[in-house]
């Protein structure tokens, strides 16, 4: 008996938009199913239709069987058996202490006291989070929060865990740690996992099955390597696949599809294209005029805390896109806040257009000169529709390198992550800044949205803007940047053109660069690789 048997499931929201069409899917006990597809394809809706407590309002047809029984008829106790973890680390935490968060589900189900203590001990030891027992949940990092959410679901002993983009708000290191934990649960306990993700690089190699959803319909389904072969012709989906899959496609897609870096390297060695083996370093793209000059900047948040920025030196040229990369806590966001004059360094100086930042009086800095887009772009929005928002901010839509007019009547919070990013960008552009500072703009975006954002930023650069981006996203930086900088312990450790940067980096680089290292010099993006394989076309 299959765990989930989904037969001809269709669903439409009350507004009338049909979001799922005739979905038929079987999930067996012990499967690790990866669901993927572009934003708005109905992935989240499908997941919610597998969890009775979260059924969305709307019109449903077809049926869902859980262990052979109709899911609508499950008794309330059954909510233990289907676990659900959402995307947002911040908002799915309910209580103020770690122990209470983990106990929350057991309290709801009125578990026996001894059983509660036993399960608590087990789960805390399994995740080795016993030292966090008394910790305030608000003191945890995003990755730790997601881990607690997972533990709090797992403690109820579910048969299956459904995860809706659980790592999209996490940095790459925490994200891969989280996914490895899922894999461990799947391997050691035989726990069934159903997961959707945007960032497929890490999750695809872990999954046993892949299901691709587009426009509410299943377009590919099966064992991972087989399913991937089915969608290779679909460029939109293929572009979101791991680098090894793209290389596999470029090389003709013969044989078994490689899913990770070692498999990709092996495949590439056996199928080396007889063409370009080396890409030249790009020419310096930005101008040579200095826009921002930072000298020996030191900053700490309180007297006795360590330096967050430590003797930092950086020059940003006019009309360039600079990406600053680095791990959590390396001081990236602080650097951005210092340039935006939101925090004050205790030593060193920042010059913008040759003038010390302290000499800018009142609003001078923010009028027609500098604008910052925060990590959480929702904090930009004040109004009820995008139109109101644009009117209030004085956005000139004709001035934008992209079009959002189709979404004017939408509430800003109802936009997708990518649209929100573009809308917030439009709002900050209304003050006609010459310098744009962006903090993690690709967080939670799917591949398509990242490409759109990249295009928009390139277009803004063409219009003469200087753009500084702080990001974890190496793939995005490789595509978008004119120069890439690495930040570590509050200082800039190197700064180069992206091709040089990602070729010379060994660990902190794109997956294509890892696969091609030593084989094809300078190929860091799938496009670079296609260019080489295609003999320079």
Whichever of 366 and 508 has its CB closer to other proteins, that residue is 366
Binding part of the chain for other proteins, among 150-158, 218-226, 235-243, 495-503 by CB under 8 A, reads: 150-158
* Footprint (CB under 8 A) of other proteins, residues 338-397: 340, 342, 362-363, 366-367, 370-372, 374-376, 378-382, 384
Whichever of 406 and 413 has its CB closer to other proteins, that residue is 413
Q: Which of 8, 61, 136, 311 binds other proteins (CB under 8 A)?
A: 136
Binding part of the chain for other proteins, among 29-37, 106-114, 249-257, 445-453 by CB under 8 A, reads: 106-114
Q: Which of 8, 24, 125, 138 binds other proteins (CB under 8 A)?
A: 138
Q: Does 416 bind other proteins (CB under 8 A)?
A: no
Q: Which of 21, 411, 489, 500 binds other proteins (CB under 8 A)?
A: 411
Binding part of the chain for other proteins, among 90-98, 226-234, 501-509, 528-536 by CB under 8 A, reads: 90-98
Q: Does 108 bind other proteins (CB under 8 A)?
A: yes
Sheet arrangement for strand 309-317: 309-317, 290-299, 347-352, 355-356
Cβ–Cβ < 8 Å for 311, 327: no
Q: Which of 4, 32, 66, 99 binds other proteins (CB under 8 A)?
A: 99
Measuring CA to CA, how many Å separate 526 from each of 179, 256, 425? 24, 19, 27
Q: Which of 39, 86, 132, 319 binds other proteins (CB under 8 A)?
A: 86
Q: Does 191 bind other proteins (CB under 8 A)?
A: no
Total site size for other proteins, rule CB under 8 A:
66
Residue 383 CA to residue 473 CA, distance in Å, equals 30
Q: What is the DSSP string of 380-427?
A: G--SSSHHHHHHHHT--GGGSSS--GGGTTS-GGGS-HHHHHHHHHHH
Q: Does 151 bind other proteins (CB under 8 A)?
A: no
By the 10 Å C-beta count (0-12 exposed, 13-18 middle, 19+ buried), 60 is classed as: middle
Neighbours of 428 (CB within 10 A): 22
Which of 480, 486, 478 is closest to 513 using CA atoms? 478
Residue 324 CA to residue 472 CA, distance in Å, equals 8
Q: Which of 38, 40, 83, 205 binds other proteins (CB under 8 A)?
A: 83
User: Residue 97 has what DSSP assignment?
Assistant: B
Q: Which of 7, 17, 117, 269 binds other proteins (CB under 8 A)?
A: 117
Cβ–Cβ < 8 Å for 311, 296: yes
Minimum gap (Å) between residue 86 Cβ and other proteins = 6
Residue reference for tokens 């426009």: 215
Whichever of 117 and 349 has its CB closer to other proteins, that residue is 117
Q: Which of 33, 35, 425, 428 binds other proteins (CB under 8 A)?
A: 428
- The residue length of the chain stands at 537
Binding part of the chain for other proteins, among 67-75, 133-141, 247-255, 292-300 by CB under 8 A, reads: 133-141
CB burial of 233-263 (b: ≥16 within 10 Å; e: otherwise) equals eeeebbbbbbbbbbbbbbbeeeeebbbbbeb
Q: How many CA atoms lie within 13 A of 398 on its CB side?
A: 0
Residue 60 CA to residue 18 CA, distance in Å, equals 10
Whichever of 142 and 273 has its CB closer to other proteins, that residue is 142
Minimum gap (Å) between residue 458 Cβ and other proteins = 23
* Footprint (CB under 8 A) of other proteins, residues 217-236: none
Q: Does 504 bind other proteins (CB under 8 A)?
A: no
Whichever of 95 and 310 has its CB closer to other proteins, that residue is 95
Residue 476 CA to residue 444 CA, distance in Å, equals 13
Q: Which of 39, 41, 244, 337 binds other proteins (CB under 8 A)?
A: 337
Q: What are phi and psi of 336, to 5 degrees?
A: -65, -45
Q: Does 75 bind other proteins (CB under 8 A)?
A: no
Query: 297 pairs with which residues across the strands?
Result: 312
Q: Which residues bind other proteins (CB under 8 A)?
A: 51, 53-54, 57, 76, 79-80, 83-84, 86, 88, 90-97, 99-100, 103-111, 113, 116-117, 120, 134, 136-138, 149, 152-153, 156, 337, 340, 342, 362-363, 366-367, 370-372, 374-376, 378-382, 384, 411, 413, 427-428, 431
């Amino acid at each position: 008996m299959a765990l989930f048997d989904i037969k001809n499931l269709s669903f439409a929201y009350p507004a009338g938009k049909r979001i799922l069409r005739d979905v038929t899917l079987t999930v067996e006990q012990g499967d690790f199913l990866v669901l993927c597809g572009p934003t708005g394809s109905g992935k989240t809706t499908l997941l919610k239709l597998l969890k009775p407590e979260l059924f969305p309002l709307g019109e449903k047809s077809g049926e869902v069987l859980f262990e052979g029984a109709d899911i609508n008829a499950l008794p309330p106790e059954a909510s233990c058996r289907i676990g659900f973890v959402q995307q947002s680390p911040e908002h799915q935490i309910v209580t103020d202490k770690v122990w209470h968060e983990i106990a929350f589900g057991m309290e709801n189900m009125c578990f026996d006291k001894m059983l509660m203590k036993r399960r608590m001990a087990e789960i805390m030891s399994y995740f080795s989070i016993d030292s966090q027992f008394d910790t305030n949940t608000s003191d945890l990092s995003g990755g730790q929060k997601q881990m607690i959410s997972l533990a709090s679901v797992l403690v109820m002993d579910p048969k299956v865990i459904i995860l809706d983009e659980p790592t999209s708000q996490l940095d790459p290191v925490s994200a891969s740690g989280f996914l490895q934990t899922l894999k461990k649960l799947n391997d050691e306990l035989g726990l069934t996992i159903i997961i959707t993700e945007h960032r497929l690089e890490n999750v695809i190699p872990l999954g046993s099955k892949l299901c691709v959803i587009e426009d509410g319909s299943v377009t590919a389904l099966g064992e991972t390597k087989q399913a991937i072969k089915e969608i290779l012709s679909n460029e939109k989906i293929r572009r979101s696949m791991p680098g090894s899959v793209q290389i596999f496609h470029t090389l003709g897609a013969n044989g078994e599809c490689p899913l990770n870096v070692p498999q990709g390297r092996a495949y590439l060695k056996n199928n080396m294209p007889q063409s370009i083996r080396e890409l030249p370093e790009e020419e310096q793209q930005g101008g040579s005029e200095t826009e921002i000059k930072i000298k020996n900047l030191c900053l700490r948040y309180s007297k006795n805390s360590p330096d967050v920025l430590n003797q930092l030196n950086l020059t940003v040229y006019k009309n360039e896109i600079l990406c600053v990369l680095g791990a959590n806590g390396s001081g990236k966001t602080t650097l951005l806040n210092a340039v935006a004059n939101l925090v004050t360094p205790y030593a060193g100086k920042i010059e913008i257009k040759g003038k010390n930042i302290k000499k800018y009086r009142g609003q001078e800095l923010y009028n027609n000169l500098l604008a910052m887009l925060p990590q959480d772009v929702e904090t930009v929005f004040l109004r009820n529709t995008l139109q109101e928002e644009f009117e209030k901010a004085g956005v000139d839509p004709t001035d934008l390198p992209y079009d959002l007019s189709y979404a004017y009547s939408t509430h800003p919070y109802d936009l997708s992550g990518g649209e929100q990013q573009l809308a917030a960008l439009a709002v900050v552009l209304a003050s006609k800044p010459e310098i744009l500072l962006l903090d993690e703009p690709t967080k939670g975006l799917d591949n398509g949205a990242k490409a759109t954002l990249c295009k928009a930023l390139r277009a803004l650069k063409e219009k003469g803007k200087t753009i500084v981006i702080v990001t974890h996203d190496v793939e995005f930086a490789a595509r978008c940047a004119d120069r890439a900088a690495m930040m570590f312990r509050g200082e800039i450790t190197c700064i180069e053109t992206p091709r040089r940067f990602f070729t010379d980096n060994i660990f902190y680089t794109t997956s294509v660069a890892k696969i091609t290292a030593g084989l094809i010099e300078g190929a860091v993006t799938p496009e670079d690789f296609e260019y080489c394989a295609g003999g320079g076309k």
